[in-house]
Structure 1
Amino acid sequence: MNKYDGVPRELLDDLTAEFEALRALITSGTDLRRPTPAAGWDIRAGVSHLIGCDLVAAEAMATPGEFRRARPATDEGLTALLESHLTTRGDFSAERLRQEWDDAFAALLKAFQSTRRDQKVPWFGPPMSPATLATARLMEYWAHGQDVAEALKIDRRPTDRIRHVCHLGSATFGFSFTNRGLPVPSSPPRVELRLPSGRLWARGPEDAHASITGDALDFALVVTQRRHHLDTSLTCRGEVAEQWLAIAQCFAGPPGPGRPPGEAPQ
């Protein structure tokens, strides 16, 4: 069996690149207590969360039965699990945190490389393919990387890897509504974005009555709830498009609070 059978090599390469890009921002001299734009989260919390989720994802692929037995049954249980990821490493030095991070990511990659294309991985919600889980991990690395970069006042140069975040954002159109107990519109908007390279990226029916157009970076920031859509240059046409951007959420768990308008860094 090809060790990359479950996940395309390009996707794993892009996930690794996101890990390395974020890891490069955090050195032995980084003040891990520096707050990020995510309310209540400092840099240490963001990295610790990524470590914890990498380990859980590796377990879900390698030993799905154990993952199912330990998986929280409620949103409150999931919240408690995620909070435990933060407190577990609350006194780690930057070097110790980086070493545990390296080990956790290596375990994650090893698990992905052993998956099968037809495999369904249990997660916090419906089971998903290994490729979808890899995309979700990339999205989290990108989103928390954005938080860390803003905390350190570093202007990250976006790359076309952002297309994976945009894909997940588009694919979770229905989830964004059902997660809030709202009816799902019968047809999603057409999404047409420009990637950092200048290439065009599109999803959704070409004859849709609603549409979202603009910069891929802005769309990724909105669906990961790192920006309010009014603080971006995205253009909406149609009520469904406006409703979606107001609640868009491409990550698992209960509805996120999002970011209020006017908080984009200047």
Structure 2
Amino acid sequence: MADPVAVLDDLRDESAELDRLVGELGPADWALPTSAAGWTIAHQIAHLHWTDTAALLAATDETAFAGEAAKALAAPDSFVDDGAETGAALPPAELLDRWRTGREQLQLALREAPSGARFPWYGPPMSAASMATARLMETWAHGLDVAEALGVTPPPTARLRHVAWIGVRARDYAYLVRGEQPPAEPFRVEITGPAGELWTYGPEGAAQRITGPALDFALLVTQRAHRADLAVRAVGADADRWLDIAQAFAGPPGPGRPRKGGR
């Protein structure tokens, strides 16, 4: 993940795929509800735009970003919804234009960032590659909500590898944000990509293990599906606990999604 170029290329592709879903929607479609409680399609795109803007500030103006981070600390339970509400109130054409412009500005800023630069964030500081990976993860996750509202099922792609990677990297954060102590031992994660390839993370001999399809693991760490509805399996008590709390995104613990039936 040291070279951000490939991740940024994939982020651009992921954003373009979502753009194709919303680019030609009529005003009424932007008001369709999504599976995120209280959020319409407009809220989903507004949230992506808001987060892109925050990431751009982090990459180009740390002082300005510090001010935004202070606002988040002052209202940890509402700052995400507030940002989405502000953008969703815009006319759809204006919101779409702002999202397109903002994500291109972020692309340029991250591509031009000095090698080794690290940027502040709502969680741990991020490199350009990590920031791009986080934006891809959120774009994919919120894009799923939009697609579901429109009755579309996007096919999984190799870009899921980025979502899986940041989900693994955020393991300790998921514990800390809940006031829990992360396990000292690393986990072994073995997941199967869309083309049948095996993606592995952590030492091969680790006692705590996670296995399953990459798509299901990505749905788990982005909290887009209930654990009981996914074919992700744990070996070991610590690994089992992680599957209950895993989150790839910064901020307070998410409420997750209700169980639909399980496998």
TM-score, reference length from structure 1: 0.92
Task: Please tell me whether residue 8 in structure 1 is matched to residue 26 in structure 2.
Answer: no
- For the aligned residue pairs, the C-alpha RMSD in angstroms reads 1.7
Deviation for aligned residue 1:32: 1.1
- Residue in 1 that maps onto 2:67: 69
CA-CA distance at 1:17 after TM superposition: 0.5
Distance 1:67 1:183 in 2: 29
The correspondence for 2:258, drawn from 246, 257, 260, is 260
Higher helix share: 2
Question: Which amino acid is the alignment partner of residue 148 of structure 1?
Answer: V
In 2, the alpha carbon distance for the partners of 1:28 and 1:92 equals 15
Equivalent residues in 2 for 1:151-190, closer than 5 Å: 151-190=149-188
Counterparts in 2 of 1:263 and 1:19: CA distance versus 1, 3 Å = farther
Q: What is the deviation of 1:8?
A: 2.5
The answer to whether residue 233 in structure 2 is matched with residue 247 in structure 1 is no
Question: SS state of the match for residue 125, structure 2?
Answer: strand
C-alpha distance in 1 between matches for 2:118 and 2:76: 20
Task: Work out which of the residue numbers 23, 26, 30 in structure 2 matches 1:29.
Answer: 26
Once residues 62 and 153 of structure 2 are traced to their aligned partners in structure 1, the CA distance between those partners, rounded to angstroms, is: 39
Q: Matches of 2:99 and 2:261 in 1, distance apart? A: 30
Gaps of 5+ in 1: 1-5
The residue that corresponds to 2:91 in the other structure is 93
- Per the alignment, do residues 214 and 90 of structure 1 end up closer, same or farther by CA in structure 2, a change over 3 Å counting? closer
Distance (Å, rounded) in 2 between the aligned partners of 1:263 and 1:142: 23
Change (3 A) 1:161 1:75: same
Matching residue's letter, 1:29: G
CA separation in 2, counterparts of 1:9 and 1:181? 35
CA distance in 2, matches of 1:241, 1:260: 21
Q: How many residues are treated as equivalent by the alignment?
A: 259
The C-alpha deviation readout for 1:100-127, integer Å capped at 9, x for no partner, is 1111111111111221221110111332
What TM-score comes out, normalization by structure 2 length?
A: 0.93
Q: Which sits farther off after the overlay, 30-39 or 198-207?
A: 30-39
1:210 alignment partner in structure 2: 208
Q: For 1:131, which of 129, 132, 143 is the aligned residue?
A: 129
Q: Is the counterpart of residue 45 in structure 1 residue 43 in structure 2?
A: yes
SS at match of 2:210: strand
CA distance in 2, matches of 1:80, 1:103: 25
Query: Which residue is equivalent to 1:3?
Result: none
The farther-off stretch of 116-125 and 48-57 is 116-125
Report sequence identity in percent: 41
Contact 1:7–1:113 (CA under 8 A) maintained in structure 2: no
Within 1, Cα distance between the matches of 2:66 and 2:73? 15
Q: CA deviation at 1:73?
A: 6.0
Q: Give the letter for the 2:14 counterpart.
A: E
How far off is 1:78 after superposition?
4.4
Deviation string, structure 1 residues 22-68 (Cα, Å, up to 9, x no partner): 11111232611111111111110010000111111111111112212
- SS of the residue aligned with 2:88? coil
User: Where does structure 2 lack aligned partners over 5 or more consecutive residues?
Assistant: none
